[in-house]
Structure 1
Amino acid sequence: MLENDIQVLNLIHENLFITQAELKEKMQVSIITVKRLMVDLQKRGVIERQGSSRRGK
């Protein structure tokens, strides 16, 4: 796992309802980077998206 992957997982662990926009701010990366990280973690079965795609959880 990459450093960004671990950071995302730690932030999600701290707040299960964190949004992609909040991840972007806390990680100081672009929203595109957050989306790419989330898709990659989902494809690997590490995380599962909950809720609507509009909300970004």
Structure 2
Amino acid sequence: MQVLNLIQENLFITQVELKEKMQVSIITVKRLMVDLLKRGVIERQGSSRRGKWFIISQKE
């Protein structure tokens, strides 16, 4: 999944940066991130501005 690859490359990537790299709308990125969070694939640690993403599992 492209979003997971981008997170692996940069744990501090923002949703706006994901939008630009994936060439999709911000709403699409938010929907993808919520889905991955609910399924336990990714986790956010720290604040929304200075936090970073962690990939918990690679299940898609």
* Cα-to-partner distance string for 1:1-57 (whole Å, 9 max, x where unaligned): xxxxx1000000001110000000000001010000000000000000122235679
Contact persistence 1:19–1:55 (CA under 8 A): no
> Structure 2: which 5+ residue stretches go unaligned?
52-59
C-alpha separation in 1, matches of 2:28 and 2:37: 14
C-alpha separation in 1, matches of 2:10 and 2:3: 11
Q: Which runs of 4+ in 1 moved over 4 A?
A: 54-57
TM-score under structure 1 normalisation?
0.80
User: How many percent identity over aligned positions?
Assistant: 90
Name the structure with the higher strand share: 2
Aligned residues between the structures = 52
TM-score under structure 2 normalisation?
0.76
Name the structure with the higher helix share: 1
